[in-house]
Structure 1
Amino acid sequence: MLETPLRVNRTFSDGSKAHIGTLAENRAGTYFQFDENYLAQHPTSIAPFNIKADLTLQKAPKQPHYGIHGVFGDSLPDGWGLHLMDRVFRQNGYNPQLITALERLAYIGDQCLGALSYEPEMHLLEADSRDVELVTLGQEAVKEFEGTESKLIEQLMNAAGSGGARPKLNVTKTSDGQFSTHANATGEKLIVKLTSEKFDLKHSESLVEYAYMQMASNLGIETPKFELIEASAGRMWLQQTRFDCTPQGKRHMISACGLLDAPFREPSLDYVDLVKATRMLCGVGEARKLVKRALFNFITVNQDDHAKNFAFLADDNDQWRLSPFYDIVYSPSPYKQHMTSFNGNGSSPKQALNILAGQAGYSSDKPLREMLEEIYQQSRSFTQEAKNLGIPNQLLTSIDNQMTEKWNSLR
């Protein structure tokens, strides 16, 4: 248990910082309190649906974020980052099962996705100034993920970031075109998504995700800037620009999981509710964008559409919008159900189109049906793009056939 309070800070787009408030824990739970000076400048909450913008002491729910509020839960790593963090704790004589969420936040410090950071930091590893070459560090990450312990645990931990169950690297592309794993390096902040034989799509996953992002972009759906980079043995990794970063600072970000205090490891959301929440937070224009993303997920069989795969960004004046579309890849569920359902139906939006249209401010479901046709027609480019990328024929044929099945099921 953390004996001293944890200060929560926010980095703005110009790199300036402000003290938001304080987190503290005791045997009864975890509590957050806003800083009075912060509220005087920013009278709206960093988590508008579940933290009040006032000076009261606000207790976090026990579930689903390890006993802390969802917006702070977003700062905690997922499967890959937790694995690395637990290795570090064990190496230093700590039982990870006894480490509280606040202690984990103290260890993460300022190495979070989004604009939040925490102090005082907990330091467990000795400083190592080596800047490991990108492909070498990526190969080490894949080895670690596949079961062979890496000796570069500090560099992997520093580059792990907060999000994702699978291995990835947070790096900086400097002005000379090189990649740096130093957190304070100057340049374009990127996420490099690695591949593994343990993935369902094995080393084709980056190629399929690239093709999906290209389809989404062609449909006018905002995505992060993305490209493929060559790894070893002819394999490719997917590089994406971090949308929580600006040239000088950060943007505040919250996932749907954090915004709504929703679990993400099991089905917990419905697109009807998510569209409504988006309209309330961001306005009807952003709600309509989310509808199109939901329909894209349906046609393209992206069924791993859980609560952490939707996010919102706030500017320095706390005006909210949808983040760019991310984690979009062919991911069929063995149960043939989406993690986020369509008015209670996990397999199809067919019966939910009218209610989704209403939540997005449309007078009928005609615009949604037009979106579905547009998405399906764009998906007809997938096979050729997949061939150009070198995706195996059996896989690309299976994906294409399933997209056609989804479209035909709507008739």
Structure 2
Amino acid sequence: MILKIRIFDKTIGYMSQEGPTLLFEYDADFLNGNIEISPFMLPKASGVHSFNDRKDDCFKGLPHFIADALPDNFGNMITNAAFAKIGRSADSITILERLSYLGKRAIGALEFEPVFTKSSNNNDILELRDLTNSIKSAIAGKPSEVEGVLISISSAAGGARAKAIIGYDKVNNIIVSGHKDIPDGFEHYLIKFDGLSENDPTGYSNIEYAYYLMAIDLGINMTESFLLTSQLSQHFITKRFDRVDGKKIHTQTLCSVIGSDFNKPQTSNYADYFNLANLFNLGYPVKLEMFRRMVFNVILANRDDHTKNFSFLIDEKGNWSLAPAYDITHAYNNTNPNAWTREHNLLINGKGTKITKEDLTAEASALLLKNKEMESIIKDAQKVANNFTTYAKKAKISAVHKNKIIEHLKEVQI
């Protein structure tokens, strides 16, 4: 199988497999173009490239920028359900087939040809109740009960939580499939479902919404987000930043840009993130924004700050910019010594916990920010944290969750 990788109606290159080795070669025309899709991990050069040294769960022997398009846990579960319907086991699906199955539905602007299977382009109205029931079947390992529409709108989504790519009409409160063209009056959103498994208890969407409100008040750039109610649950919905006026914008995570495996905590630091502001000439306001995000994560106890939770955008001219913030929420476990969120995933001045103001400013030294501006951002974040109960009330967070978060915010005071 030869897989063609495309972006913005241009062919980036081609992939094939020889035995256990995946091979990639840039297209000759793309080599002469203005887009540098992987400037640090795979700069444009002729010849065949292989990645046998990156056969881990994160990169899977693929070029980093291509591996970034693959879904994570939940999306893989949905993809497996799709193949199970045609008699294929999860172990039998090759990486190239998984990419081919994504076709034109990947997050960002990458497209893969040939497409493994055709999907309908209808825009039937979807009911949240039906989607949640189908997700429960997928989680329970019952692929035959997973609806085809869920497969088409969930198999491309990243992250561990159950989610779907939708088109949403806010005025009439109507949801349709969002993986292709959507009708007039609809916009592209991503919905995260709440409380569908024991590992994802009810109330996480409310917490994420409160954190969204706090981030906005601190001046962090995020796309519009809100809660949708279905039966007894509320689900977090956020506007996609890789779809604007029907056009695709490419997005690439920090994980892909610098080749830092998000499954390996504390192998990178915030300085790695900040350095890209200089390398991409992103400007002083963007540097302040990056610092603001680090401060927020520390003071508001978000330790799920791994390399897939920071992204950049690439436009059709090859210009790089900072993507809006996303997946900002309470993520802190101080009881389990092996917990993913016991310490920050990205190191801060060589530390993952007990962060001080001095650590924050030292980590940001490459940004060359003014001391007064850094001090102001830290104070503003502290004010937001001290006012958490107000945000908890707006987001209707349960008393149990609210009290636990308040306790954690006290523990991480700087």
Same fold at TM > 0.5: yes
Counterpart position of 2:366: 359
Q: Give the one of 166, 169, 192 matched to 2:164.
A: 169
Return the offset for 1:326. 0.4
Task: State the TM-score, normalizing by the size of structure 1.
Answer: 0.89
Mean alpha-carbon deviation: is it higher for 235-244 or for 327-336?
A: 327-336
Say if 1:226 and 1:288 are closer, same or farther in 2 by CA, change over 3 A.
Answer: same
Cα distance in structure 1, aligned partners of 2:213 and 2:308: 22
Cα distance change, pair 346–254 in 1 and its aligned pair in 2 (3 A): same
Which shifted more, 130-139 or 29-38?
130-139
The CA distance in 2 between the partners of 1:265 and 1:392, in whole Å, is: 31
Which residue in 2 is equivalent to 1:26? 18
Q: Within 2, Cα distance between the matches of 1:372 and 1:197? A: 36
Q: 2:244 aligns with which of 240, 246, 253?
A: 246
Q: 1:49 aligned to 2:40?
A: yes
Alpha carbons 1:357, 1:363 under 8 Å: kept: no
Whole-Å Cα distance in 2 between the matches of residues 105 and 33 of structure 1? 16
The 8 Å contact of residues 5 and 110 in structure 2, kept in 1 or not, is answered as yes
Which ranges of 4 or more aligned residues in structure 1 deviate by more than 4 Å?
125-130, 174-177
Counterpart-to-counterpart distance in 1, 2:198 and 2:37? 35
Report matched runs for 1:121-200 at 5 Å.
Answer: 121-123=115-117, 131=124, 133-144=126-137, 146-147=139-140, 149=142, 151-160=145-154, 161-174=156-169, 177-181=173-177, 183-184=179-180, 185-186=182-183, 187-196=186-195, 198=197
* Cα distance in 2 for residues equivalent to 1:170 and 1:252: 16
Q: Does 1:236 align with 2:227?
A: no
- Give the residue type in structure 2 aligned to 1:260: I
Q: Secondary structure at the match of 2:248?
A: coil
Letter in 1 for 2:376: E
Deviations 1:80-125 (A, max 9, x none): 01111122223323332242222210111111000001000112x8
The aligned counterpart of 1:215 is 214
1: distance between equivalents of 2:408 and 2:224? 27
Q: How much does 1:141 deviate?
A: 4.2
1:389 to 360, 385, 395: 395
Which stretch has the larger CA shift, 223-232 or 91-100? Answer: 91-100
**Post-superposition offset of 1:382:** 1.9
Looking at structure 2, the residues matched to 225 and 176 of structure 1 have their Cα atoms a distance apart, in angstroms, of 17
Shift of 1:7: 0.7
Distance in 2 between the 1:130 and 1:188 partners?
13
Mapped to 1, the partners of 2:196 and 2:4 lie a distance apart of 41
1:128, CA displacement in angstroms? 9.2
1:344 aligns with 2:340: no
Give the corresponding residue for 2:70.
76
Q: TM-score, normalized by length of structure 2?
A: 0.88
Over the aligned positions, Cα root-mean-square deviation in angstroms equals: 2.3
Give the secondary structure class of the aligned counterpart of 2:32.
helix
Cα separation, 2, equivalents of 1:402 and 1:179? 36
SS at match of 1:379: helix
- State the match for 1:104 in structure 2: 98
Q: Deviation at 1:181?
A: 1.4
Q: CA deviation at 1:259?
A: 1.0
Where does residue 410 of structure 2 map in the other structure? 404
- CA deviation after TM superposition for structure 1 residue 337, in Å: 0.6
Unaligned stretches of 5+ residues in structure 2: none
SS at match of 1:190: strand
Contact 2:301 2:332 (C-alpha < 8 Å) held by counterparts: yes
Count of residues in Structure 1 that have an aligned counterpart in Structure 2: 396
Shift of 1:59: 1.9
Code of the aligned partner of 2:46: L
**Does the 8 A contact of 1:282 with 1:319 survive in 2?**
no
Distance change in 2, residues 1:55/1:259 (3 Å): same
Offset, 1:129: 5.4
Give the % identical residues: 24
| Match in the other structure for 2:4 | 7
Q: CA deviation at 1:28?
A: 5.3
1:258 aligned partner: 256
Give SS of 2:203's match: helix
Distance in 1 (CA, whole Å) between partners of 2:221 and 2:121 is: 38
Q: In the alignment, is residue 374 of structure 1 matched against residue 380 of structure 2?
A: yes
Q: 1:177 to 1:67 in 2, by over 3 A?
A: same
Q: Give 1:401 deviation, angstroms.
A: 2.9
Answer yes or no: is the 8 Å Cα contact 1:131–1:181 preserved in 2.
yes
